Amino acid sequence: MGINKIYKTVEEAIADIPDGATIMIGGFGHAIDRPQTLIKALANKGVKNLTIISNSAGVAGKLGIGSVGGKPFIDEELLVENGQVKKVICSVPASLVMSKPNAFEKLYREGKIELECIPQGTLVERIRAGGAGLGGFYTPTGVGTLIEEGKEKRIIEGREMILEFALKADYALIRAYKADTMGNLIYQGIMRSFNAIMPQAAKVAIVEVDEIVEAGELDPEGIVTPGIFIDRIVKIPREESK
Amino acid sequence: MGINKIYKTVEEAIADIPDGATIMIGGFGHAIDRPQTLIKALANKGVKNLTIISNSAGVAGKLGIGSVGGKPFIDEELLVENGQVKKVICSVPASLVMSKPNAFEKLYREGKIELECIPQGTLVERIRAGGAGLGGFYTPTGVGTLIEEGKEKRIIEGREMILEFALKADYALIRAYKADTMGNLIYQGIMRSFNAIMPQAAKVAIVEVDEIVEAGELDPEGIVTPGIFIDRIVKIPREESK
Amino acid sequence: MKERLSREVIALRAAREFFDGAVVNLGGGIPALAANFVPEGRTVIFHTENGALGFGPVPRSESETKPHLMGASGIPFMPQPGMCFFHHADSFAMIRGGHIDITVLGALQVSEKGDLANWTFPKRMVGNIGGGMDLAFGCPQVIVTMEHITPSGELKILKECTYPLTAPRCVSKIVTDIAFLIVTEEGLVLKEVAPGWTVDEVQAVTEPKLIIGDDLKEMEL
Amino acid sequence: MKERLSREVIALRAAREFFDGAVVNLGGGIPALAANFVPEGRTVIFHTENGALGFGPVPRSESETKPHLMGASGIPFMPQPGMCFFHHADSFAMIRGGHIDITVLGALQVSEKGDLANWTFPKRMVGNIGGGMDLAFGCPQVIVTMEHITPSGELKILKECTYPLTAPRCVSKIVTDIAFLIVTEEGLVLKEVAPGWTVDEVQAVTEPKLIIGDDLKEMEL
């Protein structure tokens, strides 16, 4: 009678993530949009050699930028600091405050972590392409900058463009507001960001939500992420999220 | 204090569409999702040499396929039949019932109209690319079929793909359910189809809706088409739509 | 003449391939009928390319028919808990991205390699590609449902398709009015024959040499 | 020393460029302050790349601050009628597609051709590209707000940028603490000087030769 997608704990939900996995981590960089509890569980699990695809390499949480009252929160910096990450593909690798370098910068200067730093719009479009079965796309963003180095270019309709390729992952860890039992998701305000794009591009998508309701309780016109993209749901009210 | 987007009549809303314009026409092919009143006004206006980008060349309306009770409705066949169309870019050019050929087929056999027939997913993705500032994309759809003729191919991640280019238009004519005064739109059920994708790719987007409400009356979490994409709104309750 | 399976029974046999939790898109014609035959105990999520997922059955009366609840073939559907809607770009991202597990499509011709031809033929100057090509390329499992031969007796299961292809090597299973076959690297494997039909009779109306499945049986209806 | 314009006044001058109905994205720092100075009688729709359009002003107290109503720079906003939300792919489709009319960005360097450098510099091994590059490439009008020179006195308006570019030839207007300039095919045109500043004084801290606008005037504050 359909697949049960509801997991009691984040530990169970991430139990099969192996060393060397490629993991997309959702959100933009605010306390409310990050899957903090899933990240923490991944840190506790201690898996290594991860490739992280995310907007940032963990730049805002410790500084409390993007939370009400400037309260620190968890982001992928925890994984980077733990030495669990081999490579980060992101648009914001360094601290937002130059005088307070983050874990990524320190490891990067020591040559202990790899980086692919790309424009945010290119990053999210590469993820969308991965989920949409496309191989790649031509974008104007980055022509005439360091970003074009080593990339194919062509002129389309008189404008020079760069070829960028699709990104996929083994897992996506995301945060949403409410899920129904089928995995349909809604968000609140700015929570959609990368959360509503990454599940499509991952083999297994795991979401932490404030609330799980019965199928039919969410307005069909308001569902943002169709349940077919979501594999595992864990209820973590935001006040307990960490 | 912001731009007034509300037009009293469809005639005023389409008054500046010139001969030779490229026009996207929204909907999929059902009575409820087509901008019937705008199409009719365009037919009455008599502009010529149009390039139409739409899911079909007008295949369902006269047959009443896709309406409650099989009641005939208006689609782009009216423009084709009138001899107003130079070229159609679509995925469904011919009648759905072989024994009842449509206006497009007759003109096409006489060499009086041009056709670019492409897969529906490629069509909508080309329109999305146009609205999203991308030049083109690689898709697997069509490799090894007539569709690949004359197109560049390359292998990405072991899979052969075709290069397809972005589509843009001078105007988009679409149908939605409700608009607010800022042009934010919501739809009902299957109405989104091409309607929610074409405005982004057109210089001027014109929508006919059942109802116009004040800004703030639509749930911000439920808005499907942001108002920044919409230029002109005309209220045409669906029972009067034709 | 032997009795051939009705369109409904072809659809019923195809529907047995729907696994629990499968996301399924049905083409028009025989495929659309499969919605009525989902095996008991399995939940199937139906997708229509014009922008809905998880919708319910066909309404029983016109009074229950809503103009905004209608699938791609023009067949209306009822609302169902968990249903949702989306635009065409998202809909075909689902299809091309491999998120629709199974599609059931009609066919004009199918080759032993699993090539599918279902959108046009040489005499028709203009064919409708529609959404079928994306479905054939994008869905992990493509099931063809069709009559085994044309009304005028021409073969439809061929060594090579002679009509323009919808997609090469995409079909995994074929349900006809006399047989159920699967496409393998080695060729077409005959898995089931319709009641009363023999292997030789099926082979006689099938151009490529059939491989006889070890577990060949009469179709259970 | 002469008085330089405050960060608020730089932002105020930039905001005068917002036309009625404009869709505007503001970067962090001085640009973000421009939200407070939309000229009376004009409606501006603000966009934030983390997924909101048409939101209202900064809340006056923490009790009015909601965690889900916060812009890209971490600055909270109030709801406003007509506001809407969307995901990142849609947000950057808006930006790259030219649907955001104006962006106001900070800069490390700007060239006389309108090249912008604002994401990194050689000594910093790791820079943050973020959403700025898409904004610089995608928005029809890029307005730079910044101090005219660095705290240590280095020039920022140059013949050629020496730092890695964010985008070439993208800047259309520059508002600094001593001048308002526009980028033209012929070069940088000085349109306004801050109260008390002379053309020569502005030229002295600007590497490229300035073209003096016919209508050059003192900035009205």
B38 is written with which tokens?
A: 């705008």
Q: What is the pLDDT of residue C122?
A: 86
Neighbours of chain B (3+ CB pairs under 8 A): A, C, D
Write the CB contacts of B1 (distance below 8 Å, at least 6 apart in sequence).
D20, D41, D42, D43
* Residues D18/D40, Cβ–Cβ less than 8 Å: no
Q: How many CA atoms lie within 13 A of C65 on its CB side?
A: 16
Nearest CA-CA distance, residue A194 and chain C, Å: 15
What span, in angstroms and rounded, lies between the C-alpha atoms of B23 and D20? 27
User: Cβ A189–D68 below 8 Å, yes or no?
Assistant: yes
Nearest to C41 among A1, A134, A228 (CB): A1
* Residues B10/B37, Cβ–Cβ less than 8 Å: yes
The H-or-E segment that residue D9 falls in is helix D7-15
> Is D65 in CB contact (< 8 Å) with chain A?
yes
3-state SS assignment for residue A138: strand
Interface of B with C in 156-215 (CB under 8 A): 187-197
Q: Between residues B66 and D125, which one has the greater pLDDT?
A: B66
Strands (E), D38-129: 45-48, 52-53, 84-85, 102-105, 109-111, 116-117
CA distances from A88 to A95, A120, A175, A223, C2 (A): 14, 14, 20, 31, 65
> Is A134 in CB contact (< 8 Å) with chain C?
yes
Nearest CA-CA distance, residue A139 and chain B, Å: 5
Angle between helix axes B120-131 and C88-96 (nearest 10 degrees) is 120
Q: What is the pLDDT of residue D185?
A: 96
What span, in angstroms and rounded, lies between the C-alpha atoms of D80 and D61? 17
Q: Confidence band (pLDDT; 50, 70, 90) for C123? A: confident
Nearest to B51 by CA among B60, B42, B59: B42
Q: What is the pLDDT of residue D2?
A: 82
> Is B6 in CB contact (< 8 Å) with chain A?
no
The average confidence (pLDDT) of chain C is 96
Q: What is the pLDDT of residue C125?
A: 82
* Residues A204/A172, Cβ–Cβ less than 8 Å: yes
- What residues of chain C lie within 8 A of the CB of A133, using their CB? 93, 95-98, 138
Q: What is the pLDDT of residue B82?
A: 97
What span, in angstroms and rounded, lies between the C-alpha atoms of A191 and A177? 8
Which residue on chain C is closest to B161 by alpha carbon?
Answer: C137
For D102-124, how does the pLDDT look when each residue is reduced to its tens digit (9 = 90+)?
A: 999 999 999 999 999 999 998 88
Which residue on chain A is closest to D64 by alpha carbon?
Answer: A68
In the numeric block, the tokens 């790719």 are attached to: B201
C45 is written with which tokens?
A: 């999520």
Cα R_g (chain A), whole angstroms: 18
Q: Confidence band (pLDDT; 50, 70, 90) for C1? A: low
Nearest to B132 among D45, D83, D96 (CB): D96
The C-alpha angle with vertex D104 and arms to D103 and D105, in degrees rounded to 5, equals 115
What span, in angstroms and rounded, lies between the C-alpha atoms of A23 and A194? 13
For D6-24, how does the pLDDT look when each residue is reduced to its tens digit (9 = 90+)?
A: 999 999 999 999 999 999 9
CA distances from A172 to A54, A80, A195, C109 (A): 10, 17, 9, 40
Q: Is the dihedral of CA A42, A73, A32, D34 positive or negative?
A: negative
For D139-195, how does the pLDDT look when each residue is reduced to its tens digit (9 = 90+)?
A: 999 999 999 999 999 999 999 999 999 999 999 999 999 999 999 999 999 999 999
Strands (E), chain D: 23-26, 45-48, 52-53, 84-85, 102-105, 109-111, 116-117, 141-145, 157-158, 171-175, 179-184, 187-193, 211-218
Nearest to A200 among C43, C79, C93 (CB): C93
User: Cβ B220–D42 below 8 Å, yes or no?
Assistant: no
Number of H helices, E strands in chain C: 5, 13
Nearest CA-CA distance, residue D38 and chain B, Å: 11
From the number of C-beta atoms within 10 Å of its C-beta (0-12, 13-18, 19+), residue D137 rates as: buried
Identify the residue among B36, B141, B161 best suited for mutation to test binding to C, counting C beta carbons within 10 A and taking the highest: B141
Q: Is the dihedral of CA B16, B22, B26, B29 positive or negative?
A: positive
The H-or-E segment that residue B128 falls in is helix B120-131
Q: What is the pLDDT of residue C217?
A: 97
Nearest to C126 among B65, B105, B196 (CB): B105
The H-or-E segment that residue C211 falls in is strand C211-218
* Residues C92/B125, Cβ–Cβ less than 8 Å: yes
User: Cβ C43–A132 below 8 Å, yes or no?
Assistant: no
What span, in angstroms and rounded, lies between the C-alpha atoms of A35 and A175? 5
> Is B238 in CB contact (< 8 Å) with chain C?
yes
In the numeric block, the tokens 């023999």 are attached to: C198
Q: Which residues pair with A204 in a beta bridge?
A: A171
Q: Confidence band (pLDDT; 50, 70, 90) for A3? A: confident
User: Cβ A131–C97 below 8 Å, yes or no?
Assistant: yes
Which residue on chain A is closest to B160 by alpha carbon?
Answer: A135
pLDDT along chain B (242 residues), means of 10: 89 98 98 98 98 96 93 97 98 94 96 98 98 98 97 98 98 98 98 98 98 98 98 92 69
Q: How many CB pairs (< 8 A) connect B and D?
A: 67
What span, in angstroms and rounded, lies between the C-alpha atoms of C27 and C11? 11
- What residues of chain C lie within 8 A of the CB of A217, using their CB? 81
For residue D82, is pLDDT > 60?
A: yes
* Residues C33/C11, Cβ–Cβ less than 8 Å: yes
User: Cβ A140–D137 below 8 Å, yes or no?
Assistant: yes
Beta strand pairing status for A136-139 and A159-165? antiparallel
Q: What is the mean pLDDT of residues A95-114?
A: 95
Q: How many CB pairs (< 8 A) connect A and B?
A: 65
Residue type, D18: F
Global ipTM = 0.98
- What residues of chain A lie within 8 A of the CB of B161, using their CB? 134-135
Residue type, A136: G
Assess whether D112 carries a catalytic annotation: no
Nearest to C83 among A181, A217, A220 (CB): A220
User: Cβ B156–A138 below 8 Å, yes or no?
Assistant: no
What span, in angstroms and rounded, lies between the C-alpha atoms of A176 and A209? 5
In the numeric block, the tokens 């629990």 are attached to: C20
> Is B166 in CB contact (< 8 Å) with chain A?
yes
For residue A241, is pLDDT > 90?
A: no
Q: What is the mean pLDDT of residues C145-162?
A: 98
* Residues B164/B139, Cβ–Cβ less than 8 Å: yes
Strands (E), B140-225: 153-156, 159-165, 169-180, 185-186, 202-213
The average confidence (pLDDT) of chain D is 96
Nearest to C74 among B65, B144, B238 (CB): B65
> Is B132 in CB contact (< 8 Å) with chain A?
yes
Nearest CA-CA distance, residue A136 and chain B, Å: 5
Q: What is the pLDDT of residue D1?
A: 63
Neighbours of chain A (3+ CB pairs under 8 A): B, C, D
Q: What is the pLDDT of residue D125?
A: 82
User: Cβ B221–A221 below 8 Å, yes or no?
Assistant: no
Q: Confidence band (pLDDT; 50, 70, 90) for A1? A: low
Interface of B with C in 12-51 (CB under 8 A): 28-33
Q: In degrees rounded to 5, what are phi and psi of residue B13?
A: -65, -30
The average confidence (pLDDT) of chain A is 96
For C82-148, give the secondary structure using H, E and C: CCEECEHHHHHHHHHCCCCCEEEECCCEEECCCCEECCCCCCCCCCCCCCHHHHHHHCCEEEEECCC
* Residues C103/C25, Cβ–Cβ less than 8 Å: yes
Residue A215 CB neighbour total at 10 angstroms: 18
| Helix, strand, coil shares, percent, chain A, to 5 | 25, 30, 45
User: Cβ A28–D72 below 8 Å, yes or no?
Assistant: yes
User: Cβ C62–B69 below 8 Å, yes or no?
Assistant: yes
Q: What percent of chain D has pLDDT over 90?
A: 95
Nearest to C20 among A2, A200, A221 (CB): A2
Write the CB contacts of C124 (distance below 8 Å, at least 6 apart in sequence).
B94, B98
3-state SS assignment for residue A124: helix
The C-alpha angle with vertex A31 and arms to D61 and B223, in degrees rounded to 5, equals 80
The H-or-E segment that residue A213 falls in is strand A202-213
Q: How many CA atoms lie within 13 A of B81 on its CB side?
A: 16
Catalytic one of D17, D49, D112, D192: D49
The C-alpha angle with vertex C134 and arms to C130 and C136, in degrees rounded to 5, equals 105
Task: Estimate to the nearest angstrom the gap between the alpha carbon of D66 and the chain centroid.
Answer: 26
Nearest CA-CA distance, residue D178 and chain B, Å: 31
A7 is written with which tokens?
A: 């997991």
> Is C150 in CB contact (< 8 Å) with chain B?
no
What span, in angstroms and rounded, lies between the C-alpha atoms of A149 and A116? 12
C10 is written with which tokens?
A: 């072809």
User: Cβ A135–B133 below 8 Å, yes or no?
Assistant: no
User: Cβ B135–A156 below 8 Å, yes or no?
Assistant: yes
Nearest to B156 among A136, A139, A140 (CB): A136
Interface of C with B in 75-114 (CB under 8 A): 76, 85-89, 91-93, 95-96
CA distances from B109 to B54, B81, B113, C123, D28 (A): 20, 14, 9, 12, 60
